[in-house]
């Protein structure tokens, strides 16, 4: 096909989007790195270059290890659950049964509703004299300080993230299940395989790429969690539910410690970029037609 | 027989999960409808309000500018959606259909932004927004623009639209050229109408994302009159410290619009056909 457009037309079309991406992604990206080598703690208007000092302080700070550990706990608890339970539900929903649309709507509802309202709703369930503690007591357990006990707070927050994510990943799995050839299941039925062996031997291997996709995207979003923590615990008690993003927020916007927060942001950038790179190169190649 | 047992099992699990999915909301609704005469901490808990009242709704509606928060959320979400639709399709067209110098590098630069989490760069984004005077201390319009601009275009949207353009047969453009269309007419009159389904998907998911956004508005907003729903609802906790009846009523009011939107657009969310369209 001949060129029906002028030499500069492509750039004209790209300009507005690229301009915004430069201003709100690329410049901030490099500025984060620059800020991480500066110190603002003495004078917010006058930065001094301090080399690696922010990083050295960061790696000496026990709270930094605590928030890294908490972020890690978030990953190892939330990701396996978000990779499996939605798959199980998707398998159940991938049948000819009544009420399928209603089930999908109800299970997807938490995805749609603002995380702030979700966190408030759970805060109410978690209240000291709340309904969850009533359940605990009637089952013969002592009450739990869901959000006030350092042992439990992070898990209580993770539960909200999981609850809000299940419907989302279930829909991703459902789309993948539609592509599994029916003949494979028919072969299983002839062999008399039961529910579990059938799906472990046919479904799981067939949609392995989707499972891997869910693992990477749920990992990335677990590392970005903020609102749940902000609304429910503010990172407390005793930093027990503070993750790296929340700590960055706190240092940057409450303590105005720009350099220190940026050094932490660089650490977060490196971790998330590794996961994203894996995601793009391994699972989403088709989406970008690389 | 085995089949029937299987069906009963399937339904019981799905019913249980459905109840777990909506129970936190049901409990909030229940609390919001309980009058002052009823102990909301009663043991055992009571789901159906005994002292039924709508007073909490009236109370929170009169004390808090929920309608204002709703309008702010609408302005921000509408602005974000419109800009995303325009800017993403503009940028996607040359990436899908034209040859030009620097195409590869532009492509990979845009792809790279997918890997940068907003949470890691929010501090410089904030500093830049202040430098550009896009903040509510300047005036309300600047405040709205500041809420919108960092999310006005996304690599996700550009790639979604690029995919859509790639799916259109070349003959469409050729026919248009023969008919004497210039490049802008081809884009606006020929190509854009053909990618309407993708535009709809982009609009809906951008809307949901913008509507629920909490981190950015809670960083930039200083004036209560510009609060979006998530920020305003979070603020209820501070205003009514432990008045859970009011907090619950306010929260429930705040989710009504998005639930209506969801039910109206449900096929886009639960048909399972938009797997590639969901944001990570």
Q: Is the peptide bond between A237 and the residue preceding it cis, with omega within 30 degrees of 0?
A: yes
Q: Which two tokens stand for residue B218?
A: 């809670």
CATH number of B60-277: 1.10.3720.10
Q: What predicted TM-score, i.e. pTM, was given to this entire model?
A: 0.91
Q: Which of A24, A258, A289 faces B149 most closely, judged by CB atoms?
A: A24
Nearest of B213, B246, B248 to residue B227 by alpha carbon: B213
Residues of B in contact with A11 (CB under 8 A): 94, 100
Q: Is the pLDDT of residue A290 over 70?
A: no
- pLDDT of B38 reads 84
Bigger pLDDT: A135 vs A282: A135
DSSP assignment of B133-200 equals T-STTT-HHHHHHHHHGGGS--HHHHHHHHHHHHTS-HHHHHHHHHTT--HHHIIIIIIHHHTHHHHH
- pLDDT, one tens digit per residue, over A90-113 is 999 998 888 899 999 999 999 999
Q: Concatenated DSSP letters for A94-139?
A: SSS-TTHHHHHHHHHHHHHS-HHHHHHHHHHHTSTTSHHHHHHHHT
- In this prediction, residue B199 carries a pLDDT of 94
Q: Nearest by CB to A109, from B21, B166, B278: name it.
A: B21
pLDDT at A44 over 70: no
Q: Alpha-carbon distance B172 to B178, whole Å?
A: 10
- Report the pLDDT averaged over residues A58-77: 95
Phi, psi dihedral angles at B55 (to 5 degrees): -60, -35
User: In this prediction, what percent of chain A has a pLDDT beyond 70?
Assistant: 98
- Mean pLDDT on B167-179: 87
Q: What are phi and psi of B101, to 5 degrees?
A: -70, 140
Q: What is the pLDDT of residues A109-119, one digit of tens each?
A: 999 999 999 99
In chain A, residues 247-286 whose CB comes closer than 8 Å to chain B: 248-249, 252-253, 258, 261-262, 265-266, 268-269, 272-273, 276-277, 279-280
In this complex, the residue of A4, A163, A268 whose CB is nearest that of residue B120 is A268
Q: B-chain residues within 8 Å CB-CB of A221?
A: 280
Domain limits of chain A?
48-266
Q: How far apart are the C-alpha atoms of B218 and B225, rounded to whole Å?
A: 13
Neighboring chain A residues of B152 at a CB cutoff of 8 Å: 20
**B220 inside 8 A of chain A by CB:** no
Check: CB of residue A152 under 8 Å from CB of residue A145: yes
Instruction: Tell if the CB–CB gap between B14 and A89 is shorter than 8 Å.
Output: yes
Q: Is the pLDDT score of B280 beyond 50?
A: no
Non-local (6+) Cβ contacts of A204 within 8 A are A87, A211
Position A209 confidence tier, pLDDT thresholds 50, 70, 90:
confident
Q: Could you tell me what percent of chain A has a pLDDT over 90?
A: 61
Q: How many interface pairs between A and B have CB atoms less than 8 angstroms apart?
A: 289
**Does residue A284 have a pLDDT over 80?**
no
Phi-psi region of A51 (alpha: psi -120 to 50; beta: other; left: phi over 0): left
At residue A51, does pLDDT exceed 90? no
A78-82, A222-226, B170-174: which range is least confident on average?
B170-174
Q: Say how many CA atoms lie within 13 Å of A113 toward its Cβ.
A: 30
Q: Which CATH architecture has domain A48-266?
A: Orthogonal Bundle (1.10)
- pLDDT given at position B277: 43
pLDDT band at B92 (very low <50, low <70, confident <90, very high): very high
DSSP lists the bridge partners of residue B52 as B34
For tokens 């550990």, the residue is: A69
Closest CA to A271 of A245, A234, A252, A290: A245
pLDDT tops 80 at residue A193: no
Strand partners for A38: A49
| Structure confidence at residue A1 (pLDDT) | 55
ipTM of predicted complex:
0.90
Q: Tokens at residue A250, please?
A: 């706190």
For residue B205, give the chain A residue with the closest CA. Answer: A112
Q: Do the beta carbons of residue B79 and residue B153 sit within 8 Å?
A: no
Q: pLDDT (tens digit, 9 = 90+) per residue, B42-77?
A: 888 888 888 888 999 999 999 999 999 999 999 999
Instruction: Choose from B165, B272, B279 for mutation: most chain A CBs within 10 A.
Output: B272
Cα gap A115→A229, rounded to integer Å: 10
Contact with chain B for residue A42, Cβ under 8 A: no
Sequence ranges of the domains in chain B? 2-51, 60-277
3-class secondary structure, A49: strand
Burial class of residue B276 in the structure, from the number of CB atoms within 10 Å of its CB (0-12 exposed, 13-18 middle, 19+ buried) = middle
Find, in chain B, the residue whose alpha carbon is nearest to that of A275.
B115
Burial level of A279, CB count in 10 A (0-12/13-18/19+)?
buried
Q: Do B128 and A101 make contact, defined as CB atoms within 8 angstroms?
A: no
B276: tokens are: 């590639």
Residue B279 has pLDDT above 50, yes or no: no
Q: Which DSSP string do the residues of A133-194 spell out, in sequence order?
A: HHHHHHTTPPP--TTTSTTTHHHHHHHHHHHHHHHHHHHHHHHHHTTS-HHHHHHHHHHT--
- Facing residues of A190 across strands? none
- Tens of pLDDT along B215-266? 999 999 999 999 999 999 999 998 888 789 999 999 999 999 999 999 998 8
In tens, the pLDDT along A122-177 reads 999 999 888 999 999 889 888 889 999 999 999 999 999 999 999 999 999 998 89
To the nearest whole number, what is the mean pLDDT of chain A?
A: 90
- pLDDT, position A250: 94
Q: What is the DSSP letter of B48?
A: S
Give the separation between CA A167 and CA B237, rounded to whole angstroms: 27
Q: Which of residues 30-59 of B touch A (CB under 8 A)?
A: 31, 41, 43-45
CA distance A68 to A87: 29
Highest mean pLDDT among A60-74, B37-51, B99-113: A60-74
By Cβ distance, the residue of B111, B251, B272 closest to A171 is B272
Q: What is the mean pLDDT of residues B154-177?
A: 90
The whole-number pLDDT of residue B272 equals 58
What band does A6 get if pLDDT is binned at 50, 70 and 90? confident
Instruction: Return the pLDDT at B276.
Output: 44
pLDDT of residue A143: 86
CA distance linking residue A128 with residue B187, whole number of Å? 60
Is residue A195 a contact partner of residue B6, using CB atoms and an 8 Å limit? yes
| Contact at CB, A17 and B266, closer than 8 angstroms | no
Q: Which residue has the tokens 């995805």?
A: A111
Strand A48-49 to A38-39 pairing: antiparallel
Strand partners, A39: A48
Identify all chain B residues contacting A227, using CB atoms and an 8 Å cutoff: 214-215, 230
Q: Which residues pair with A49 in a beta bridge?
A: A38
Q: Count CB neighbours of B263 within 10 A.
A: 12
């Amino acid at each position: 096909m001949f060129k029906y457009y002028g030499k500069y037309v492509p750039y004209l079309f790209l300009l507005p989007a690229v301009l915004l991406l430069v201003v709100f992604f690329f410049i901030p990206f490099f500025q984060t790195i620059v800020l991480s080598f500066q110190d603002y703690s003495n004078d917010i208007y006058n930065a001094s270059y301090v080399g690696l000092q922010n990083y050295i302080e960061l790696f000496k700070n026990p709270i930094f290890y605590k928030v890294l550990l908490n972020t890690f706990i978030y990953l190892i608890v939330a990701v396996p659950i978000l990779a499996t339970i939605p798959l199980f539900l998707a398998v159940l929903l991938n049948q000819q049964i009544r009420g399928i649309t209603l089930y999908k709507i109800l299970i997807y509802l938490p995805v749609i509703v603002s995380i702030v309202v979700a966190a408030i709703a759970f805060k109410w369930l978690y209240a000291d004299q709340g309904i969850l503690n009533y359940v605990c007591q009637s089952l013969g357990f002592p009450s739990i300080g869901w959000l006030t006990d350092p042992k439990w707070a992070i898990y209580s927050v993770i539960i909200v993230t999981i609850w809000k994510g299940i419907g989302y990943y279930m829909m991703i799995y459902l789309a993948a299940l539609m592509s599994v050839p029916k003949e494979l299941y028919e072969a299983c039925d002839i062999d008399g395989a039961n529910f579990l062996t059938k799906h472990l031997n046919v479904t799981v291997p067939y949609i392995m790429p989707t499972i891997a996709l869910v693992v990477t995207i749920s990992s990335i979003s677990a590392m970005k969690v903020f609102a749940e923590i902000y609304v429910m615990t503010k990172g407390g008690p005793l930093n027990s539910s503070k993750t790296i993003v929340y700590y960055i927020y706190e240092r940057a916007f409450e303590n105005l410690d720009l350099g220190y927060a940026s050094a932490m942001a660089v650490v977060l950038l490196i971790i998330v970029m590794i996961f994203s790179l894996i995601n793009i190169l391994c699972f989403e190649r088709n989406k970008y037609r690389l | 027989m085995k089949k029937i047992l299987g069906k009963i099992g399937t339904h019981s699990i799905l019913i249980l999960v459905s109840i777990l999915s909506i129970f936190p909301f049901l409990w909030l609704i229940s609390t919001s409808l309980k009058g002052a005469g009823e102990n909301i901490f009663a043991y055992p808990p009571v789901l159906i309000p005994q002292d039924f009242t709508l007073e909490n709704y009236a109370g929170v509606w009169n004390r808090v500018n929920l309608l204002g928060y709703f309008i702010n959320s609408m302005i921000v979400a509408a602005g974000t959606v419109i800009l995303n639709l325009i800017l993403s399709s503009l940028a996607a067209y040359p990436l899908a259909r034209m040859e030009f110098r620097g195409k590869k590098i532009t492509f990979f630069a845009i792809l790279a932004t997918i890997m940068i989490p907003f949470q890691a760069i929010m501090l410089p984004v904030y500093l830049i927004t202040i430098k550009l005077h896009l903040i509510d201390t300047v005036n309300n319009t600047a405040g709205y623009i500041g809420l919108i601009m960092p999310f006005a275009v996304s690599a996700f949207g550009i790639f979604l639209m690029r995919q859509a353009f790639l799916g259109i047969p070349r003959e469409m453009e050729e026919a248009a050229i023969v008919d004497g269309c210039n490049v802008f007419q081809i884009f606006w009159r020929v190509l854009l109408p053909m990618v309407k389904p993708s535009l709809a998907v982009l609009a809906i998911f951008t809307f949901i994302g913008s509507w629920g956004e909490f981190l950015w508005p809670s960083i930039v907003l200083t004036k209560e009159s510009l609060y979006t729903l998530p920020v305003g609802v979070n603020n209820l906790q501070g205003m009514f410290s432990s008045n859970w009846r009011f907090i619950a009523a306010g929260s429930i009011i705040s989710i009504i619009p998005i639930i209506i939107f969801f039910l109206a657009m449900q096929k886009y969310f639960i048909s399972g056909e938009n797997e590639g369209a969901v944001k990570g």
